[in-house]
Chains A and B, each alone.
Chain A
C-alpha cells in the first residue's frame, strides 16, 4: 500500500511569489490534515479535510493560505504571496474512518522563502 506522498520535497522561492504544495493521501482515507513545523518549534495544525469538505481550518495563519481537496482525493495548499515567515516544513497526514485512528504522515515539503 502506498503511503502519503507530497510534492515537491523542497521549494525555494522569493518573497512575494506563489507556491503550491500537493499531498496525495493513502487511498480510501477520508481525513486529510495539513501541519507545519517552523524551524525548531512545534508541529502546528493548519487544517483538516473530511473528504472534500473543510472540517476545521482554525490553524490557517491568514488569507494568504488556500487549501483545496478536489473530489476528496489529493489536496493542494497554495501560499500567495509568500512571506519570509512562511518558511518551514509542511506535512500532510491522512487517516481512515473511525475515531482515534493514527494519522499517517507524508515526508513533508521544505519551503524556503528568501
Chain B
C-alpha cells in the first residue's frame, strides 16, 4: 500500500540555522512527491513537488527538497530558518495522474529566535 512516513512529530531549530524535515515513501511504481505547509488557522499551501528530472527541487519561501530514489526519501530543507517558517509540514505522494494525495502525519516545525 502507498504510504508516507514523517518520522519526527516535532523539529526545533534556531533561527538562522539550516533545517531539515524528513520524509520517506513506500516503493510502488514511480512516486510523485509533494510538500505542503499549514500555518495556524490556514489551509494547506503547496510548497514544491517532484515529478521527474532534477532530483533537487526548489520551491516557495526558499525551501528545497531532494528526491533520493535509493533511500526512498524526499527531505525538505532550508539553508537558514526563519521564525515565520514555524508551521505544520506535510509530505504527500501520488503514483499516477490526478489520484488523491497520500499524506504523512505531519511534522511541526518550531523555529526559535
Contact = CB atoms under 8 A, between A and B. Distances in A.
A45 B45 contact: no
Interface stretch (B13-21, B66-74, B93-101): B93-101
A74 interface: no
Nearest to B50: A100
A56 B100 contact: yes
Given A100-B51, A108-B43, A42 B98 contact: no
Contact-residue bracket for chain B: 20 to 34
B22 interface: no
A102 B100 contact: no
A72 interface: no
A45 B101 contact: yes
B49 A100 contact: yes
Contacts of A43: 44, 90, 92, 101, 103, 106
Contacts of B49: 100, 102
Contacts of B46: 102-105
B43 A106 contact: yes
A111 to B, nearest CB: 15
B33 to A, nearest CB: 10
